[in-house]
Structure 1
Amino acid sequence: MANPDDTPKGQHFLLSPECRTLTVLDLAKMRDTTAYNWFKRLRWHETEGEPYCPKCGTLRCHTMSRDRFKCTEKTCKAVFSVTSGTVFHARKLSFKKMLIAIWFSANSVKGKAALQLSREIGVQYKTAWALLMKLREAIAWRREEMVLDGEVEIDGKYAGGHIRPENKAEDRIDRRLRKYQNMKRLCALAIRQRGLGGQTFTRIIRDEDSNAAWAAVRDHVSRDATVFADEHGSYNDLAGLNELQRVNHSKAYQTDDGTNTNQVESFFSRVQRAYVGIHHRFSLKYFDWYVAELAWREDCRQVSNRNHTFQVLGKALSRPTSRYLCGYWQGNKPPDLIWEG
């Protein structure tokens, strides 16, 4: 008899059992000690969960009360925990509740709203918002060393700055004209690598201009890669960096020889669904982190939800304490996350 869990040939990954390897029922039955051990193994993965001093690096540490450790080196004597110096610094939630919150966030295909998470794990909206933003900031750091190769597509998407039109048609004005805009619109520049396992680089800019496109391709695309772009004039200068192929979208979505930018447009459709259906709007101040998180979700769409959870938790434990979000509700605000050149 055939196993009913066997994935039929050609079945979408999200419909297969390989996608759902960790459920909320598994987390509900988990003890807080087990969740704590997961944190330890991902924080100190080099030593398989054995704690070492974050200051001097020695393994000679002894366990104190309240899950704290103390370095035994005479010149150090540092006291630390599994979350010290990470984005979870000064945490108040239990390890199990934080793990469940990470699972809910990672398991959401188009992002997680803080208000919904606050109801699901029983915390204040402020707590849920700060936790999700810390995770987004940790995920966004992956772009720093990103270099795309092979065939890549580049495009930009504008968001924000909507002005409600007047009630009467005769009172309405053409908001497409620059003089009638409120200058709050931002552009999400995306460079997406084709193929399974390809990565997506994102950057928030004020306008889709040649300087931003040039700098992004120069720093994050291999010189051997082929770049595909639409007819926008800001991509003309890329011919001096890489082999450039264009498609004129005013005539066709795809040329006769197959040139297109369909994959980066597919990513923008995910951004649009998250903007409209999940968050209803993005705070433009943190637009960069929202888009970077969605790019990570796009790149990991063929990964099980267990690995999703481990990836997010591992990235959060490997990043230092956020200088922008630690003490956010006490007045510590980050600057505008917009690339200025």
Structure 2
Amino acid sequence: MSRARFKSSDKACKTVFTVTSGTVFHARKLSFKKMVMAIWLSVNSVKDKAALQLSREIGVQFKTAWVMLVKRREAIAWRREDMVLEGEVEIDGKYACGHIRPENKVEDRTDRRLKKFQNMKRLCALALRERGLGGQTFTRVIRDEDGDAASAAVGDHVSRDAAVIGDEHGSDNDLAGLNKLNRVNHSKAYQTEDGTNTNQVESFFSRVQRAYIGIHHRFSLKYFDWYVAELAWRKDSREWGNDRQTFNVLRTALARPTSRFLCGYWQGNKPPDLIRKGDAAV
């Protein structure tokens, strides 16, 4: 048919469709050339891509570039569902978002490390990082770094034969009943005498911090989980070439069904909160 559309030859069907029907890019208006350009430019950025910059580079509105990037992040985040980490796995959490500006006078300032003074807009990105070449990174955004969330993540996405490496945080105490557990006390040393450390997961959190400060300047709480999941993919694919990264994202996006959260976003369709506590969304 005209405009690159197709019609089913089944007499009982006669459905009209395109090559992007039923995929993440369903109901697109961008040309294929600009879509592929946008994917290539985004994966070419080490610390993620700002929608405003992408809109200028490919000549589209900010809203068009933003939705496309978020759709891509949602598709990439699905890779975590069947992820099982092997070997040695490092675990840690990082709080982000919700910055509180300190008071001017010292006597008016509070210790924001105390729970009663914490900003409820700050969320914790829990990460499990598999050591070794080609290691994967599993992420989950939770309200607080607690034992239930850590146990749920390790129980669902870490092999029982794997060794888990954590720090002195109390949320890791319950992991000893699931896997072999090694720990390092960061208040005393970053690495123990026998070489136990969590440097690789800390390296991933450094990437998250650089994306926060240098690219986005803020993370929306509603989409924070997808941002972190994409940064984990960037960490895992950092040694790939641009062509492999581009085709991997394109293949992942076209293999996922139409987003029920983002298709028609600017017409009022909004996703639910993506914050997780333990194993249940809140």
The 3-state SS of whatever aligns with 2:276 is coil
Deviations 1:11-37 (A, max 9, x none): xxxxxxxxxxxxxxxxxxxxxxxxxxx
TM-score (norm 1): 0.80
1:123-134 matched pairs, under 5 angstroms: 123-134=60-71
TM-score (norm 2): 0.96
Q: CA deviation at 1:286?
A: 0.6
Deviations 1:3-58 (A, max 9, x none): xxxxxxxxxxxxxxxxxxxxxxxxxxxxxxxxxxxxxxxxxxxxxxxxxxxxxxxx
Q: CA deviation at 1:168?
A: 2.3
* 1:220 is aligned to 2:157: yes
- Partner residue in 1 for 2:138: 201
The 3-state SS of whatever aligns with 1:105 is helix
- Partner residue in 2 for 1:248: 185
* 1:303 is aligned to 2:219: no
- Partner residue in 1 for 2:22: 85
* 1:166 is aligned to 2:114: no
The 3-state SS of whatever aligns with 1:296 is helix
Deviations 1:91-123 (A, max 9, x none): 111110111011111111110000111111111
CA distance in 1, matches of 2:253, 2:221: 23
* 1:107 is aligned to 2:44: yes
Give the aligned residue type for 1:227.
V
* 1:119 is aligned to 2:56: yes
Deviations 1:259-310 (A, max 9, x none): 1110000000000000000111111111000000000000001100011110
* 1:271 is aligned to 2:208: yes
Q: CA deviation at 1:125?
A: 0.8
Give the aligned residue type for 1:90.
A
Q: CA deviation at 1:76?
A: 2.8
Aligned residues: 278
The structure 2 residue matched to 1:177, chosen from 97, 108, 114, is 114
Give the aligned residue type for 2:156.
D
Q: CA deviation at 1:67?
A: 1.2
Q: CA deviation at 1:228?
A: 0.5
- Partner residue in 2 for 1:261: 198
- Partner residue in 1 for 2:265: 328
CA distance in 1, matches of 2:148, 2:244: 37
- Partner residue in 1 for 2:251: 314
The 3-state SS of whatever aligns with 1:322 is coil
CA distance in 1, matches of 2:158, 2:3: 47
> Structure 1 residue runs of 4+, over 3 Å off?
none
The 3-state SS of whatever aligns with 1:118 is helix
Deviations 1:47-93 (A, max 9, x none): xxxxxxxxxxxxxxxxx221122221233332211110111111111
Higher relative contact order (CA 8 A, sep 6+): 2
Is the radius of gyration larger for structure 1 or structure 2?
1
CA distance in 2, matches of 1:303, 1:182: 38
CA distance in 2, matches of 1:204, 1:210: 14
Matched-pair identity in % = 80
* 1:67 is aligned to 2:4: yes
Q: CA deviation at 1:143?
A: 0.3
The 3-state SS of whatever aligns with 1:131 is helix
- Partner residue in 2 for 1:27: none
CA distance in 1, matches of 2:105, 2:173: 41
The structure 2 residue matched to 1:137, chosen from 74, 96, 109, is 74
CA distance in 2, matches of 1:175, 1:249: 20
